[in-house]
Copies of this chain bind each other. A is one copy, B any other.
Amino acid sequence: MNEHSFIETSGRCFISAKDKNNDKYHRILEAAVSVFAKQGIFQSTVSQIAKEAGVADGTIYLYFKNKDDILVHFFSFKAKQVFDLFRQEVDKADNAVEKLRNLIRCHLEEFQRDRNMAVVYQSVTRQNVPTVRKEIKEMSGMYSDIVLEIIEQGQMEDSVRKDLYLSLVKRFILGAVEEVINTWLRSGGKYDLTSMADPLIDLFIRGIGNTN
């Protein structure tokens, strides 16, 4: 259940579909995320999730305590798997600018590839959902740590300014990436989200100010 496998093909990052479908746990989790994305978490019922997964209602309770517990698993398994992939992609690059590029490209690629996950992730992180407060904090901390590491490396390499308020830079980067994803979701996903990666990194690195 906890086995992850990542496949690298032609420079794109993605998680193997195999892992996510190898048992009922994953099928129910996928079905739940799909139902949550379609109609919102609070309006969704366990019966709807069972129907979407093609299992009996009772089967859900073999794997999850209740609807809230499915959301906890979404963060501690599914979203975490994506964040682990971000880390892997970042570690592949040598310098800070390329690390930032890998992070943002992988973030946009994964969220584009799994739109249901994107909808649920983006909406839950902005809501006050007590049951997953701890998990959201962990995810957010994980992302922050990666960005912080990249910025500090960039400062050592002299590609990033030294007079930065680091905790603000983390929010600045995460916020911009999430709003780009949010706009894409609101548009119905009508364009290639990953095409935003390079212009976005350019904005971070060069900023919008005219330095001449």
Contacts and interface: CB of A to CB of B under 8 A. Distances in A.
A182 B169 CA distance: 14
Interface string A83-119: 0000000000000000000000000000000000001
B209 A207 contact: yes
Contacts of A22: none
Interface string A120-152: 001101111100000001001000000000010
B151 A168 contact: no
How many subunits of this chain does the assembly comprise? 2
Contacts of A66: none
A210 B126 contact: no
A164 interface: yes
A210 B160 contact: yes
Nearest to A168: B199
B161 A171 contact: no
Interface residues of A, number: 51
A121 to B, nearest CB: 10
A40 B42 contact: yes
Given A176-B176, A204-B207, A207-B207, 20 more contacts: A40-B127, A123-B123, A123-B126, A125-B126, A125-B182, A126-B126, A140-B186, A158-B210, A162-B210, A164-B203, A165-B199, A171-B183, A172-B179, A172-B203, A172-B208, A175-B176, A175-B177, A175-B182, A205-B209, A211-B211
- Cβ-closest 9 pairs across A and B: A207-B207, A175-B179, A42-B42, A126-B126, A205-B209, A175-B175, A175-B176, A171-B179, A172-B176
